[in-house]
């Protein structure tokens, strides 16, 4: 809208009665001017809102982190527990995100193309992780996979520890970030339609070939967007992981848990530094997506 002042003019029915005697040109100019003023107003409100809620707090963290120069930051970053937390976060994301991507594409295909009983119920179920508090997700996982949980005895017999170890943290992360790929892929899939796939079929492609060569490239930007959101969510997950991990320093502490731990132990620099690293990771993810989409538009391959 910002480049189209004419679009805003519609908001104000011109009071032509009072403007009698003015030429149509000056009337139009006056209208354009008031539209521009209104637009600037809207923009100021939007920016102010963002600044108060988002920009100022993030900027403050950056400022506080580097307040005393680089060496305390360096020390905080190279602390063994910080290093461990960083790599553990990366590890969990590297497992949970691909899992959710494969599951998400399959589920989107099922919900969009399939015809079966209970489809709408399944669609609702997919959104459940959005609705339920992550803490509840964590607790319910403990009830199933914990020592006294439903599967606890069986898992213990197999020698598998889920709760208070990495598998449980991966599961918790996967659950809370489950809906993104499904929800981002479904509308693109609908827009793609089935014509191109059927064309591939009549040209001799197997279902597998049609999927890899036609369907997946057709929905790839929806999938990429879903993956980016999943990654951001998985990186930042606190509540569910906090419960299933047991928060053991240097063992089951992810970056967000580490931030909380440092903060509670009055290691403000440590907390801020880890927070900045988290923010930078998220920023890198967003940037990567931005670059990818921009390349896609340039390639006219959308």
Partner 1 sequence: MAIEVRGVSKRFGDFVALEDVSITVADGALTALLGPSGSGKSTLLRIIAGLETPDSGEVVIDEQDVTASPARNRGVGFVFQHYAPFKHMTVHDNVAFGLSVRKRPKEEIRGRVEELLALVRLDGLAGRYPSQLSGGQLQRMALARALAVQPRVLLLDEPFGALDAQVRAELREWLRKLHEEIHVTTIFVTHDQEEAMEVAEQIVVMNKGRIEQAGAPRELYESPANEFVMSFIGPVNRLGDAFVRPHDIQILAEDDGTGTEALVERVVHLGFEVRVELKLPDGREIWAQVTREEAQQLELSQGQILSVRLPAPRVFAS
Site of interaction with partner 1 (CB under 8 A): 195-196, 198-206, 209, 213-214, 217-218, 220, 300-302
User: Could you tell me the smallest distance in angstroms from the CB atom of residue 190 to partner 1?
Assistant: 15
User: Which residues does 167 contact at the CB level (< 8 Å), separation at least 6?
Assistant: 160, 161
Smaller CB separation from partner 1, 157 or 195: 195
Smaller CB separation from partner 1, 23 or 299: 299
Q: Is-contact 258 276, C-beta < 8 A?
A: no
Rounded to whole angstroms, how far apart are CA atoms 242 and 256? 9
Smaller CB separation from partner 1, 98 or 217: 217
Smaller CB separation from partner 1, 124 or 203: 203
Residue 260 sits at the vertex; the CA angle it makes with 256 and 266, to the nearest 5 degrees, is 145
User: Could you tell me the smallest distance in angstroms from the CB atom of residue 191 to partner 1?
Assistant: 11
User: Could you tell me the smallest distance in angstroms from the CB atom of residue 206 to partner 1?
Assistant: 7
User: Could you tell me the smallest distance in angstroms from the CB atom of residue 129 to partner 1?
Assistant: 31
Smaller CB separation from partner 1, 80 or 204: 204
Rounded to whole angstroms, how far apart are CA atoms 105 and 21? 64
User: Could you tell me the smallest distance in angstroms from the CB atom of residue 224 to partner 1?
Assistant: 13
């Amino acid at each position: 809208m910002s480049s189209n002042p004419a679009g805003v003019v519609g908001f104000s029915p011109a009071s032509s009665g009072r403007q009698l005697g003015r030429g149509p040109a000056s009337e139009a100019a006056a209208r354009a001017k008031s539209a521009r003023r209104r637009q600037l107003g809207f923009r100021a409100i939007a920016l102010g809102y963002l600044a108060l809620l988002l920009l100022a707090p993030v900027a403050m963290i950056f400022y506080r982190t580097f307040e005393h120069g680089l060496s305390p930051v360096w020390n905080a970053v190279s602390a063994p527990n910080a290093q461990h937390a960083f790599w553990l976060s990366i590890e969990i994301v590297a497992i949970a995100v691909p899992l959710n991507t494969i599951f998400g594409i399959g589920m989107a295909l099922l919900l969009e193309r399939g015809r079966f009983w209970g489809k709408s119920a399944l669609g609702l179920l997919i959104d459940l992780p959005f609705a339920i508090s992550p803490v509840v997700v964590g607790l319910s996982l403990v009830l199933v996979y914990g020592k006294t949980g439903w599967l606890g005895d069986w898992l213990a017999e197999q020698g598998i520890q889920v709760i208070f170890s990495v598998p449980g943290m991966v599961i918790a992360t996967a659950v809370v970030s489950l809906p993104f790929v499904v929800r981002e892929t479904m509308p693109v899939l609908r827009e793609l339609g089935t014509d191109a796939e059927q064309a591939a079929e009549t040209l001799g492609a197997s279902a597998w070939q049609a999927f890899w060569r036609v369907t997946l490239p057709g929905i790839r930007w929806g999938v990429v967007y879903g993956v980016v959101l999943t990654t951001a969510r998985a990186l930042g997950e606190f509540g569910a992981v906090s419960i299933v991990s047991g928060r053991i320093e240097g063992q089951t502490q992810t970056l967000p848990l580490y931030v909380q731990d440092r903060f509670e132990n009055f290691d403000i620099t440590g907390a801020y530094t880890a927070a900045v690293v988290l923010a930078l990771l998220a920023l890198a993810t967003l940037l990567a997506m931005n670059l990818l989409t921009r390349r896609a538009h340039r390639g006219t391959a959308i």
